[in-house]
Structure 1
Amino acid sequence: MSDSRVLSSETSSRIEFLDILRGVAILFIFLVNIQHLSGVHYYSEEFESQFLFPDFQHFLEMLFFVLFTGKFYFIFSLLFGIGFVVQYQNIVKRNLPYKQFFIRRMLALLVIGLIHLFFIWSGDILTLYAVLGLTLIFFVDFDDRRLLKWAFVLLLLPIVHWLFMYATRTYYYYPLFDFVHEQAAELDLVTPASKVTDQPRFDASQRIATDDFSTWFQMQVVLPVMRLGLIIMEGRLFKVLALFLLGMWAGRKILREHLLDDQEFLKKLVFWGFIIGIPFNILFGILKFPDLITGNFRNFLNHLSFAIGVTSMAFAYAASIALLVRSRPNLLRWFAPVGRMALTNYLSQSFLGILIFHGIGFGYFGVFSFSEIIAIAMLLFVLQVVFSVLWLRRFRYGPVEWVWRQTTYGRRLPLRR
């Protein structure tokens, strides 16, 4: 989602790495998102038993969760912070007012995000990025040590936030969930048990399966309220801002101190990232089974395992990719076009997921097993790679990136090469 073209040729290899890393992140974000878009998470055990090798499907899903879930959103957020540093450096070099530029850029992203959130998929991350991105203006003059201190505190705040809610019994996101459940009841999109207990509970699988566009859309404009509740519950405001600040720190190191050339540092990051990250991510996976660890202690461990495990493993993945790009530059280069069109590809993934699996589209909800859905996502991503390569041969930017740039600069910009 960044503009690499404004940079000098001296930094082109570093920017290519960022495009590659962004492309890899887009792939794994899609592999996570398609599980929600397809509704595979909402299959009952009885329903899953109809597929071939159901135990293998469960194992694969758990393995995927432990190894990948959350890690590439983390990397994507880091890249956002890195992109801010790159843009800031280039705006200052051109003697332009960076505050006005970045505010316009974030407001334009906010509009794109809100359209995605309310009209396509409630799992949107762009709206949150745009809102929190505006705060980066206040951190631009912080030195590296101060950025790291703020990031460290923010990563721990979700734990403190949860402890506060637990101690005071102020779970202030509950009314947001209750509102969504009530709206779902009016549309008859609740679980069968809800009708017996008279306590409405939104049934996401019914909403995915419905072919009534009016019902689907009425629920779509309500679901962002649940999204807000989840963001509050998980302390995601703190997490994402922490990652933005870590990205700013990394961006400075990349541009000023040639961080990507420091192989010893990258190797240590890989080693310690996996050593620390793997045990905590195994715990992160175990917490998916509420019968094994119950109650509020489970919630505490969930926040702790994210703060330590997901963070460590994401850094290990990013450093591994940096080392691989350096040692075998052509191996991952095909990810770069996808990374340059990350915004277009991210939005199109949501659209394709709705089109293929939801009842208002082709209605393939409940048809495929977990492994088949992952295979479908891989196939769709290959098509995105081909599309990105062909598009960038003729055009300067991805279509949504072009709209975003024009809105930011306030004038018409050439699209064709």
Structure 2
Amino acid sequence: MSRGTTAAGRGGAEDRGRVHEIDALRGFALFGILLVNAQLMAGPYTAFGGGPDASAVDRASAWAVTATTTVYQLFSFLFGYSFVLQRRAAREAGAAFPTQHLRRTAGLFGLGLAHAVLLYPGDILMTYAALALVLYGLRDLAPRTAVRVAVCLVAGLAVLLLGYGLLTVALTEPVTPARYAPEAAHTVAAYRGGFPSVIGAHLRELPASLGANLMYTPDMLAAFLAGLAAAGTGLVERRGRDRVWLRRTAVRWLPVGLAGGTVTACCANGPLDSRWFLVGHAVSLLTAPALTVSYACGVLLLAGAMRPAAGVLAASGRMALSHYLAQSLVLACVFTGYGFGLYDRVGTAVVLAGCVVLYGLQLALGARLMNRVRYGPAELVLRTVTLARCPGRAPACPGSHPAGAEPRPVP
């Protein structure tokens, strides 16, 4: 795929300036996010393969997802990359990027807050919105400097988690799932209840979820900065169709990433007990970038070899925010009292199989929808907030954009 070629067959001036390889990567990352979030929304033990009496298939399924999934790093990297593209598009359109960025950040935070309260307290959008303000302050960092800061952030957090994790292993006793049974039973009852009960459960879990996100903000910001540096050098545009480079990079880093993922899975999903959880995540911080790079190169190789498949991925990537929110809506209807109330009633393997079906439907819907409209529903809302007007209407202040035209869509 190349710049100026639409992802789903919709041509026109509005598509100039998009980097469709970025859209394809974002569309791919949606699947990994779905795999992780579905387990967390399906029950208190689903992400760990189920409770004490879970089947071997469920345990193996959860273990495999932990060992191979690093999607939030990829999504964070793409967020930083897109920030540079947004800034560039605003400059070329003669728009005030600081004002637009502030409005966009506020809109993203508002969507995240609604998402956390109504659908899923593990929302990441509010954290992204807060870090977007930090990213703006670091926007003029040279690529090399941005990479150095990113490395320091990841290494520092990994050292802290590793130290605390090793102390936990040395000074505490293993905790069995049975100790959490009363608390888990209360959570299960709340999620199977009606609308007020589900909202109450979300509000109770929200502080802990925000705290967990806060702990990993250095890693997210590091990925933002890596994306900032990559976009500053035009990495995806330069290397996105270089099949030799992509293949060599993927082969070089995939073993490192899988080795780290294996250690992380052993610590989080067994055979090591729960005391090793933070040790595993410290290892993941250091090795997940290698796995992320390998996946990204693999997707870009696929994009070059199978243009129709790449177009479908890119179409979904263009409405990634809508897909992210839609995933939570569907999962909430399946697992909570909003709908079927299957919370803690479905095994991990079945949950993951359902994710494959849901993702396939999203890809089909994304390709169909983006062939007819410029924005997904959530993207339209966010863009309206960003521009302080409906997209497509002339700006209120004549001359604020060339020939009174709307700036081209934010990539």
The interval holding the TM-score normalised by the smaller chain is 0.7 to 0.9
Aligned-partner residue type, residue 206 of structure 1: A
Aligned residue in 2 for 1:31: 35
TM-score normalised according to structure 1 size: 0.81
SS in 2 for 1:411: coil
Shift of 1:95: 3.0
Query: Do the aligned partners of 2:165 and 2:279 also contact (CA within 8 Å) in 1?
Result: no
> Which residues in structure 2 correspond to 1:8-407 (within 5 Å)?
15-39=19-43, 40-41=46-47, 43-46=50-53, 48=54, 54-68=55-69, 71-162=70-161, 203-208=186-191, 210-232=192-214, 235-254=215-234, 258-289=238-269, 292=272, 295=275, 298=276, 301-407=279-385
What CA distance in whole angstroms lies between the structure 2 residues aligned with 1:352 and 1:408?
Answer: 27
Give the aligned CA root-mean-square deviation in angstroms. 3.0
What is the distance in 1 between the residues matched to 2:102 and 2:118?
24
Please say if residues 159 and 300 of structure 1, whose CA atoms lie closer than 8 Å, have aligned partners that are also in contact: no
Percentage of identical aligned residues: 24
- Contact 1:20-1:335 at 8 Å conserved across structures: yes
**Residue 222 of structure 1 aligns to a residue in which SS?**
helix
User: Hey, what's the Cα distance between the residues in 1 that align with 2:289 and 2:106?
Assistant: 28
- The alignment partner of 1:324 has SS state of helix
**Cα 1:403/1:331, change in 2 over 3 Å:** closer
Give the Cα separation in 1 of the matches to 2:12 and 2:206. Answer: 35
**Partner secondary structure for residue 64 of structure 2:** helix
Q: CA deviation at 1:368?
A: 3.1
Conserved 8 A contact 1:119-1:221: no
Query: 8 Å contact 1:67–1:281 — kept in the other structure?
Result: yes
**Distance change in 2, residues 1:328/1:28 (3 Å):** same
Q: CA deviation at 1:204?
A: 3.5
Counterpart Cα distance in 2 of 1:100 and 1:138? 14
After superposition, the Cα gap between the structure-2 partners of 1:153 and 1:398, relative to the gap in structure 1 and judged at 3 Å, is: same
Amino acid at match of 1:324: L
The answer for unaligned runs of 5 or more in structure 2 is: 1-5, 169-176, 394-411
Check conservation: 1:82, 1:248, Cα contact below 8 A: yes
Query: Which amino acid counterpart does residue 349 of structure 2 have in structure 1?
Result: S
| CA separation of 1:130 and 1:59: change in aligned 2, threshold 3 A | same
Distance 1:154 1:239 in 2: 7
CA shift for structure 1 position 118: 1.8
Give the count of matched residue pairs.
374
TM-score, scaled relative to structure 2: 0.82
Structure 1 residue runs of 5 or longer lacking an equivalent are: 49-53, 170-190
- How far residue 279 of structure 1 moved from its aligned partner, in angstroms, is 1.3
2: distance between equivalents of 1:6 and 1:245? 31
